[in-house]
Amino acid sequence: MGAITIRVAARELGLSTRALQKWIASGAPVVEPGSARNGALVDLDELRAWRISRALPTAQPRTATSGAVVDLAAIARALWRAHTKPPEGRSTQVWRTQRTPQAAAAAQILEAFEQIARELTGTVPEELPPEMHWVRTLVRDIASSACHPSETP
C-alpha cells in the first residue's frame, strides 16, 4: 500500500486519529514525517506489522490441528472490524441496523472467535488477542451495568 494520511489510516484501522498519533509518538513507522501544517504520511501495512510486532506478542501464528498455520490475531482483527466498522457503502454497523443490543453483538463476536480457535487449533488461547480482550471487556462492562443500574429518584 502507498503513503496515506493519518486520518485515512485511522479510519481503516478503526482508531481515532489521536490514537494513531500516539502510536507514531511511540515509534510507529512513518513514510513522511509531518509538520505543524501537514500531518505525517503512513503506510497501512507497515503500521499493522509494527503493531503486531510490538503489541501482540501472544498473537503468534499457531499450528492448526490440520498442520496449517493459523493467525488468530488476523481473525480477531477481522471480527473486531466487523463489529466496529460499518460494511462498505453503509454508514452504520450491522448490529445497529439489525437493532441488536451491543452486548449481544459483542458476545456473538467473542463466541465466534472462540469457536474458530477451537475448530482450527483444538483450543482457545489462554491470552486473547487485544481485540477479543476488548470485546470481552465490553461484554462484561455492559452486563455489569445492566445488573447494577444507577438508581434514579
Q: How far apart are CA 119 and CA 65, in angstroms?
A: 8
Q: How far apart are CA 19 and CA 11, in angstroms?
A: 11
Burial of 47 (0-12, 13-18, 19+ CB in 10 A): buried
Number of Cβ within a 10 Å radius of residue 74: 14
Bridge partners of residue 63, in order along the sequence:
69
Q: How far apart are CA 90 and CA 92, in angstroms?
A: 6
- Tell me the pLDDT tens digit for each residue of 7-27: 888 887 777 888 888 888 888
This prediction has a pTM of: 0.53
Q: Give residue 59's pLDDT band: very low, low, confident or very high (50, 70, 90).
A: very low
Q: Residues for the chain: how many in total?
A: 153
Domains of the chain (ranges plus CATH)? 3-55 (1.10.10.10), 62-147 (no CATH)
Q: How far apart are CA 29 and CA 27, in angstroms?
A: 6
Query: What is the arithmetic mean of pLDDT over 68-88?
Result: 82
Q: Give residue 35's pLDDT band: very low, low, confident or very high (50, 70, 90).
A: low
Q: Give residue 153's pLDDT band: very low, low, confident or very high (50, 70, 90).
A: very low
> What is the sign, positive or negative, of the torsion defined by CA atoms of 30, 44, 136, 62?
negative
